[in-house]
Amino acid sequence: MLELVFSALITIVPDYLYRRYKQGKRWGHEITLFNIWYELRWGLTACAILAVTLITVIFYFHPSTRNVSAAFRTVTILSDRGGRVAEVYVANNAHVNAGDAIFRLDTTRQEAAAETAQRRIEEIEASLGLAATEIAVADAQVKAAEVELAQATSDLQRRLEIAERNDAAVSQQELERLQTAVSGAEIKSTAAVAALDGAKLRQTTVLPAQLESARAVLREAENEIAKSTVFAEVDGTVTQFLLKPGDIVNPILRPAGILVPDVTGLGRFVAAFGQISASVLKPGMLVEITCASKPLNIIPMVVDEVQDAIAAGQFRPGDTLLDQQDRVRPGTVTVFLAPIFPKQLEGIPPGSACVGVAYTSRAKELDAGEITGLSAFVARIVDGMGIANAIVLRAQAILLPVKTLVFL
């Protein structure tokens, strides 16, 4: 409307004044509703061309959007495992601090596993105490076998010496018996040494390994018990939290609720502009927004970041071949806005819907002399045209309460 009024002032009005005072044609006589097109054809044509040109230039270099929101982050309240709720420590919409317990799952099975592991540890520790006795017994058996072997060897050697002096004094049967006794003593000594080595190996390797394994099982059970209690990771407000003891919670299919952190979004707004404005939107651009949650206020922002990808183009591998015509919406350019005066954001709850206008400015290039001559003149005119969208935005801020409260 503003562009049309401005275009009419410099096209239709001069044309009418020329017809009226230069040609002497009067409204209602020579100029009527039936011949107004013929009489003012030059002004009407120029007005239409100029209005379309102004609207195109203004909305291209000073893009506007109705999709601005105070984006915020939420944390899903999940347990590391599924189970039945045993205790609930907070209520819905309650404020929690980092480290506060939210709810606890039933741990009967985990506690039984921990008790079993603890008893196993005590059993192995008792076995370690007995291992020293077993080693002492095996050591005594080794010494007894060595004494028996020495005795048998001595008897055999003595009989062999007697046999060498007088074969008739010692029978061959007695010598075989003594040799068999020596072999048996050697076998007993070897077995006693092996038993001693096994007892030492059991004390130094087997039982400690079994003890560590039992302790690992105990730690696993205690960890499961510890994970059964869900704590708040950040300060925030618990919402959509309606758990009761006995409910089933699953980390994949059935989360417990949502935690809205106190510090979320870092005061940044997210705006969606049309793709035609992608070449105009740059970091550092001035943006003005007005929000429904804080009417009659214009909040100056600055473009902090422009997302270099359009969400509508993303795809996820699947079993269906992608057809480009299935994408109904062309997608928008996502822009992140930061406040120039953060205190002005007070009173705007996260998620508020806002509208905004971005303004192209070449002031730095003009001051630096990078744009000169006719280009500088055109640049100043284009930058100045942003006032039209600024007026429209302020009109929207004024009319928003009326439209919302009266006409909706």
Q: What is the DSSP string of 314-372?
A: -----SS---GGG--S---EEEEEEESSGGGGTT--TT-EEEEEEE---HHHHHHTSS-
pLDDT of residue 265 exceeding 60: no
Question: Token pair of 182, please?
Answer: 């020596």
Mean pLDDT across 379-383: 85
CB within 8 Å of 118: residues ≥ 6 apart: 218
Give the model's pLDDT for residue 133. Answer: 77
Residue with tokens 């008790």: 115
Domain 108-227 fold is: Helix Hairpins (1.10.287)
- Element housing 291 (H / E): strand 286-291
Tens digits of residue pLDDT in 224-233: 888 888 888 8
pLDDT of residue 67 exceeding 80: yes
Mean pLDDT across 43-58: 86
> Angle, nearest 10°, between helix axes 373-384 and 386-405?
10
CB within 8 Å of 117: residues ≥ 6 apart: 214, 215, 217, 218, 221
pLDDT band at 156 (very low <50, low <70, confident <90, very high): low
CATH code given to domain 62-72+264-312+329-408: 2.40.30.170
Tens digits of residue pLDDT in 119-148: 888 888 887 777 777 777 777 776 776 667
Distance between CA 164 and CA 146 in Å, rounded? 27
pLDDT of residue 174 exceeding 70: no
Mean pLDDT across 225-248: 87
Q: What percent of the chain has pLDDT over 70?
A: 88
Domain 75-104+229-261 fold is: OB fold (Dihydrolipoamide Acetyltransferase, E2P) (2.40.50)
Q: What are the boundaries of each domain within the chain?
A: 1-57, 62-72+264-312+329-408, 75-104+229-261, 108-227
Mean pLDDT across 327-354: 85
Distance between CA 195 and CA 144 in Å, rounded? 13
Task: Work out the number of other CB atoms within 10 angstroms of the CB of residue 403.
Answer: 10
Least confident of 66-75, 80-89, 164-173, 347-356: 164-173
Give the model's pLDDT for residue 162. Answer: 59
